Amino acid sequence: MERGKALVSQHEKLAVVVVFLSSQDEARLLKDLICRWSISPDISIHVAVAGSARGLGRKDLARLLPSQGCHVGIYDLRLARLSLKPTAIESARLAADASVNAFHLINSLRPRIIFYLQDPDSVFSQGLQIAQARAKVPAIALKPEDIEHVHWLTDLPIQALENWNTPQVKLVVITNNRPGSCIRLLRSLSHAHYLNDEVSLTLNMDAEADRVTLQMAGSFQWEFGEKFMRHRVRRGGLMLAVVEAWYPQGNDEYAVLLEDDVEVSPLFYVWIKYNILKYRYSPDSSLYQRMFGVSMYSQKFVETHLSGRAPFNPEDIFIETPEYELRTPFLLQLPCSWGAVYFPEHWREFHEYVADRLLDIEWNKTSLQSVQIPNSRTNRWSNSWKKLFIEMIYMRGYVMLYPNFFNFTSFSTNHLEWGTHTKQQRNSAGTFLVPLMTDSERLLDDLPNRRLPDWDSLPVLDLWANLATSAELIKRGRALQEQINPCLLRNSKNEVIWEGQEKELKCAKTLPYYSTHTTPTPKATAAPAIETLSISAIEKDGQQQDPSGVSSDETASDIPAYSSPTPVPSVDDQNDDVDSVPAPSQRNLAVPTPTMPLM
C-alpha cells in the first residue's frame, strides 16, 4: 500500500506531455520521438489519437509502437469520419468536436506542454489550436518536414520546452553595393528550416547602396515573417553599421548579425534554437549569464596574439585533454562576425559601453580611453567594433559558444568578396571558407552523447584560445577594471568590493561633468594626446589596398577614430578587417548627451 502511494506521488511529480496524432502517417513520423520521451526520468508522456473512424485508434497506435522500451498512455478522441469532399458545415463540426474532446483531455491530464503537427488544411489541427488557446497551455506545433531536425527535443528539460515559442529571433543583414553576394545570402536564408517559427528579416543598406541592390532588396520575398528595409542617407562607418544594426526590445529577443558575403547552412536556425533553449531557458539559466552569444562559424584562426594571426584547431587542445570530448562545443572569449546570434542583455550593455567609450574619447576624457588588454594584439586595432566588444567581454569574463564539428563544418561561411577591406579575396578565400552543415543526424552524431553538453562540462578558452576557467577570466577582467576605474569602492584592506559594482566600467566621478555641462566645447587650444583622423583620411581609409589579400574576422569602421596612445599599427594589424558596410545610424555622436554609469 505504501509502495503504491509512493509510486503515485512520484508520478505526480513528473511533467506531463501530451502528443496529438491524427493519422498513421503522423504516428510513424513521431513514434521515435515519443519513445525517447517515454524513457525520460522527468516526463510522463501521453498520446491522444483521433480515433479508429479516422484511421488511428488506440490499438492501431499500439501496433505501431515498439513492444519494449516505449510505455505511453494512449487516449482515443473518437472523432467521426470525414467525407472525401466535406462541406464547410461538416468541417466546422469536426473541428469543434476535436476542440472539445482535446480540451477535456488537456483539462484532465493538465500537461505542461502539448505537441502536434500543424497543417492549415487539417480540421484536426484547427481544433487543437482552439483547444490549446482555450486551455492556455504551451504548444509545440511543427510541420512534418521539421521532425527530422528536432530529435534533440528530448534532451531539453520541461522548462525549456515550455518556452519553445518565447525566443524571438531576428535576422539582420548588413549590405551595400554587392547585390550578387547579398542575393546568395538571402537565398541561403530562404532555404533554411525555421521550425514553423516566425522570423523577421531586416536589410540594412548603406548610403552608397546602388540601384540594383535597392531594387533587389525591395523585390525580395520573405515568407517566414516580416521584412524590414533600412537605408542610410549618410555614410556612418562599419562600427555604427554593426552596433546600431539591432537594439533588443526585451530579453527574449535575439539577433543573427550577417554581412552580405556570408552564406548560411540550411540548419543554422536549428543550431541557434537548440542552443538558446538549452542554455537560456533551462532551470539553471542563471549559470549562463556570462555567455553573450552562439557562433555559427567554426574558428580557424586566432588573431589576438601579439605575433599575429595563428592557426587554430580545437582538436589540438581536446585530444590532449581527456576530460573533454574531441567534438565538444566550447566557450571562447571572442566574438564572431561571420555569422552569430547575440543575446539581448549583453548587446544592450555593449551599446552603453560604446556610447560611453566614444563620448569619453570625444571630450578628451581618459577614464576609459586607455583600456589596454595585457598581451593582446587588439590594442593596436583602430576603427573596430570588435576591439570595443573585446574590451567589454574581457573585463566581464564573457564568452561565446562555438561549434566544433569535423573539418570545421559550420552553420555559416564567408566568401571574402571584393570590397572596402578585401582587395584580393580570391587569393585567400579558401583559407576562411568552411563546409556547411546539411545533415541533422550528423549534427547530433558529432555532439558528445548526441546532445549539447551541460554548462559545467563545456571547455573554456580565453582570448588567446588557451584553456582556462570562468573564474580565471573573471579574475583577469577585474584586474583590468581596477587599473582603469579608480572609483571602485574598497574595504579597509584596500580590496575592491565587487558585489553591487561588477558592471561599473565607467568612473562615477565623471557624472557631474556630463550632468552639469549639457553643451560642452572640446578643447581646441592644445593638440590632443590621442591620434585623430580627418574626414579625408577616413575616406581614403576605405580605399586602402590589402597587400596580402587576406581579410580576417576583425572588423574596422570608417568613422572618425580616436585611438588610445598605443604603438602605431603595423601593416598586418591594419589588414585585420572584414569587408562590410555601414548600417543605418540612430545615434548622433556629434551632440554629447548625459551618460550614466553602467549598471
Residue 558 above 60 pLDDT? no
What pLDDT does residue 418 have? 54
Residue 581 above 50 pLDDT? no
Out of 82-86, 152-156, 487-491, 586-590, which region has the weakest mean confidence (pLDDT)? 586-590
Give the CA angle between residues 184, 187, 189 to the nearest 5°.
110
Region of 549 (left: φ > 0; alpha: ψ -120 to 50; beta: rest) is left
CB neighbourhood size of 354 (10 A): 22
Averaged confidence pLDDT in the chain: 81
Mean pLDDT value across residues 31-55: 94
Condensed to tens digits (0 to 9), the pLDDT of residues 134-174 reads: 999 999 999 999 999 999 999 999 999 999 999 999 999 99
- Helix 211-219 to helix 179-190 angle, to the nearest 10 degrees? 20
What is the 8-class DSSP label of residue 81? P
Give the CA angle between residues 457, 463, 464 to the nearest 5°.
100
SS3 227: strand
What pLDDT does residue 428 have? 55
DSSP string, 32-66: HHHHHHHT-TTEEEEEEE-BGGGTB-HHHHHHHS-
d(CA 532, CA 561): 6
Residue with more model confidence, 394 or 524: 394
Chain centre to alpha carbon of residue 216: 26
Mean pLDDT value across residues 37-52: 94
Residue 536 above 90 pLDDT? no
What pLDDT does residue 190 have? 97
Contacts of 397 (CB under 8 A, 6+ apart): 290, 333, 470, 473, 474, 476, 477
Condensed to tens digits (0 to 9), the pLDDT of residues 302-343 reads: 999 999 889 999 999 999 988 999 999 999 999 999 999 999
Q: Give the residue among 410, 324, 291, 362 at the shortest CA–CA distance from 510.
A: 362
Type and span of the H or E element at 12: helix 2-13
Chain centre to alpha carbon of residue 407: 22
* Grid cell for residue 57: 485508434
Burial class of 69 by CB neighbour count within 10 A (0 to 12, 13 to 18, 19+): exposed
* Grid cell for residue 14: 513528473
Condensed to tens digits (0 to 9), the pLDDT of residues 56-107 reads: 999 999 999 998 889 899 999 999 887 777 788 888 998 999 999 999 999 9
φ, ψ at 204 (rounded to 5°): -100, 120
Q: Give the residue among 32, 29, 25 at the shortest CA–CA distance from 54.
A: 25
Mean pLDDT value across residues 106-113: 96
Residue 532 above 70 pLDDT? no
Amino acid at 411: F
What pLDDT does residue 550 have? 42
- Helix 385-396 to helix 470-484 angle, to the nearest 10 degrees? 110
* Percent residues over pLDDT 70 in the chain: 77
Out of 260-269, 418-427, 483-492, which region has the weakest mean confidence (pLDDT)? 418-427
The structural domains of the chain, ordered by start, are: 12-142 (3.40.50.2000)
Mean pLDDT value across residues 492-520: 54
Contact predicate 385/377, CB 8 Å:
no
Q: Give the residue among 127, 558, 504 at the shortest CA–CA distance from 353.
A: 504
